[in-house]
């Protein structure tokens, strides 16, 4: 690991919020619970949306459901990233040495990039306008489902390594 990165991570570990989290089991528990809840919000929104886009779930009009579920997933992602960064700050050097953490970060980045591409693409506009998903949107929804569920599994894997 480059010296500059190691120094930055050591500084991060010595910031007051990181120290508070390490010293307070209750605070760590609450942030960890918020992280899990945020992940639940993200997965609980993105899985039904992806399944609906794939045509495997028919609970209601896609044009009405898609924007709500996408916004809810975005809020879940933002909160998960915030709380995850707080948890990371407690032991950053250890996490960077954990292969499951690195896999999770890669999947998180790929899932976020996929979501960004979806929201900027013509296929998403077609979903909102016509209420149905074409082949490109179904492929992106399938990729989304795999990426986010993979991220969830990798996150749980961290504690086992």
Q: 50: closest CA among 139, 121, 135?
A: 139
Q: Which two tokens stand for residue 65?
A: 């459901």
Q: Which two tokens stand for residue 20?
A: 């508070």
* pLDDT tens per residue across span 83-111: 999 999 999 999 999 999 999 999 999 99
- Determine the Cα–Cα distance for residues 28 and 89; give it in Å rounded to an integer: 11
- Determine the Cα–Cα distance for residues 117 and 100; give it in Å rounded to an integer: 25
pLDDT at res. 61: 85
Q: 139: closest CA among 41, 39, 55, 46?
A: 55
Top CATH class of 3-160 equals mainly alpha
The residue extents of the domains of the chain are: 3-160
* pLDDT tens per residue across span 2-15: 899 999 999 999 99
Q: Residue 137 burial (CB < 10 Å; 0-12/13-18/19+)?
A: buried
- Determine the Cα–Cα distance for residues 115 and 104; give it in Å rounded to an integer: 16
* pLDDT tens per residue across span 24-82: 999 999 999 999 999 999 999 999 999 999 989 886 788 888 999 999 999 999 999 99
**85-90 long-range CB contacts below 8 Å, 24 or more apart?**
86/17, 86/21, 86/31, 86/35, 87/21, 87/28, 87/31, 87/32, 87/35, 89/12, 89/13, 89/15, 89/17, 89/18, 89/21, 90/13, 90/18, 90/21, 90/22, 90/28
């Amino acid at each position: 690991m480059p010296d500059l990165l190691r120094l930055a991570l050591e500084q991060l570990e010595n910031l007051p919020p990181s120290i508070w989290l390490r010293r307070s089991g209750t605070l760590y528990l609450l942030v960890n619970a918020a992280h899990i809840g945020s992940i639940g919000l993200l997965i609980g929104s993105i899985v039904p949306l992806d399944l609906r886009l794939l045509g495997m779930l028919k609970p209601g009009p896609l044009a009405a459901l898609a924007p709500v579920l996408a916004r809810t997933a975005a809020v879940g992602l933002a909160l998960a990233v915030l709380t995850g960064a707080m948890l990371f700050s407690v032991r950053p050097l250890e996490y960077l040495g954990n292969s499951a953490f690195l896999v999770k970060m890669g999947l998180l980045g790929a899932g976020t990039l996929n979501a960004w591409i979806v929201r900027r693409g013509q296929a998403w506009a077609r979903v909102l306008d016509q209420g149905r998903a074409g082949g490109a949107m179904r492929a992106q929804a399938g990729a989304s489902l795999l990426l986010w569920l993979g991220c969830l599994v990798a996150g749980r894997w961290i504690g086992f390594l």
